[in-house]
Structure 1
Amino acid sequence: MLKDSQIKIADMDDGQKVVKFLKQIAQWMFDNDINQWRYLLSGGDDEEILEAVNNKETYIVLHDDELIATFTISENQSEWDQHIFGEDAAQDSLYLHRLAISPELIGTGVGGELLGWIFKNITADKSFLKIDCVADNRKLNRFYRGHGFEYIGETDHHSKYQKKLYR
C-alpha cells in the first residue's frame, strides 16, 4: 500500500492534523480496551507532538490526500526516553515515537512496511533504533519482536526494544 502513498516530513500546517489523528487512534485504542496512549486523550503530549513537527522529526503518510499514518524519529533523547532507556551517553540511538496507522489498516502489513521504509530511508550516524510500548500490550510487543526488534527489558511497565541500524 505504501507504494501508492506519499511519505513526507510534516510541516507546521500538518501539526494539528497529526494531533487530531493521534487522538483518534488513542480513542480507538481506549474503545477497544487497548492500553496504549490514554494520556493523549486528555491533551498529554500535544505540545511535544507540535514541537516534533516544528523540529521536522515527524513524518506523515498520505494516501489519496488522507492521513493514514504518522511517526516521529528523534536523534535526541526526550525526558521519556531517558526515563525508559536510561541516559544514552554515547548518543548512539534514534528514538521512534508515536508510530500510528489508521485502525482500518491494522493487520494489512502497513505497519511492517513503514518500519521497512524507516530502516531504508532514515539516515543518521547511529547504531540503533529504539522504541517502547506498554508492557501488557501483547499485540504491539509481538509486532515489534516479529519485525526484528530485540527486547531489552522493561521499565515502569513499558517494554523496551532496539534494532540495529545497518548503514
Structure 2
Amino acid sequence: MSHDWHIQLATPHDTLAVISLLKQVAQWLKESGIRQWAFLLEGGDDEEIAQAIVDQHTYLVRKGPELIGTFTVAASQTEWDRHIWGEDASENSLYLHRLALRPATMRKGLGADLLTWITQHAANEQKNLRLDCVADNPQLNQFYQRNGFHLLGTTDGHHKWQKSVEPRA
C-alpha cells in the first residue's frame, strides 16, 4: 500500500490536537445532518480520550506535519463496550473507537487503508476487530460492510460490527 501519510502513537502532548480534530469532525457531522458524536461538542468523552492517549491506545494519522486523522484501538473493553457488547471474557477482540478523518480527506480511500493498517498492525493475540456505530448512519454502516465487517446485531441504537483479523506473529 503506497501512501503519503503515516501513523504514529499519540502522546499526552497530542491530547488537545486529538480532541480538537474529533470536535471538528463532530461539528461537520452535525452540519451534515448526521446524528453522531454530538456529545463530543459539549466535552463528552474528553477525559476518556485523554486516558486512551495515556494508555497508548490512540494513534495519529499525519500527512507531513498535518494531523488528518485519529483512531483508538484497544484490547480491553471500555464501559461503553461492555454496555454494547456485554462482557468479553475471551479477550479475543480489539475494540476500535473514534476513527476520524478531516472531512477534506474523506472519500479518497484513506478510511479503508486505515482499517487495513489496523488489522495488519494492531492485532496481537486477538482474532476479532469490533466497533459500533449509530444504526441510522447508512453511509458509515455501508462503509464498514464494504470493508469486510459483519453486522452482529444492534444494541441501544448502535450497530455492532466485527471483522476477523490475522494476529501478528
With the shorter chain as reference, the TM-score category is over 0.9
Distance 1:158 1:123 in 2: 24
Q: How does 1:45-60 map to 2 (within 5 A)?
A: 45-60=45-60
Partner of 1:101: 101
Counterpart secondary structure, 2:3: helix
Match of 1:11 in 2: 11
Aligned: 1:152 with 2:163: no
Cα offsets for 1:26-78 (capped at 9, x unmatched) = 00100111111111011000000000001110000111201001000011000
Give the alignment of 1:1-167 within 5 angstroms: 3-167=3-167
**CA distance in 1 between partners of 2:54 and 2:82 (Å):** 21
Instruction: Report if the CA contact (8 A) 1:92-1:128 is conserved.
Output: yes
Gap runs ≥5 in structure 2 = none
Q: Kindly tell me: are residues 58 and 95 of structure 1, through their superposed partners in 2, closer, same or farther at Cα, counting changes over 3 Å?
A: same
Question: How far 1:118 sits from its partner (Å)?
Answer: 0.8
Secondary structure of 1:120's match?
A: helix
C-alpha separation between the residues in 2 aligned to 1:97 and 1:110? 16
Q: Is the 8 A contact 1:70 1:99 kept in 2?
A: yes
CA contact (8 A) 1:152 1:160 kept: yes
Matched-pair contact (CA < 8 Å) for 1:70–1:100:
yes
Instruction: Specify every segment of 5 or more residues in structure 1 that has no aligned partner in the other structure, as ranges.
Output: none
Tell me, in whole angstroms, the C-alpha distance in 2 between the residues paired with 1:154 and 1:57.
25
1:22–1:147 distance in 2 versus 1, CA, 3 Å: same
Shift of residue 123, structure 1, vs aligned partner: 3.0
| TM-score normalised according to structure 1 size | 0.97
Paired with 1:27 and 1:49, the residues of 2 have a C-alpha distance of 17
* Alignment coverage as a number of residue pairs: 167
State the 1:104 CA deviation: 1.0
TM-score normalised to the size of structure 2? 0.96
SS in 2 for 1:4: coil
Aligned equivalents of 2:113, 2:53: Cα separation in 1? 22
**Percent of residue pairs identical:** 47
Q: CA separation of 1:2/1:22 partners in 2, compared to 1, >3 Å: closer, same or farther?
A: farther
- Name the SS of the counterpart of 1:36 in structure 2: coil
RMSD over equivalenced CA pairs, Å: 1.1
Q: CA deviation at 1:166?
A: 1.4
- C-alpha distance in structure 1 between counterparts of 2:2 and 2:109, whole Å: 10
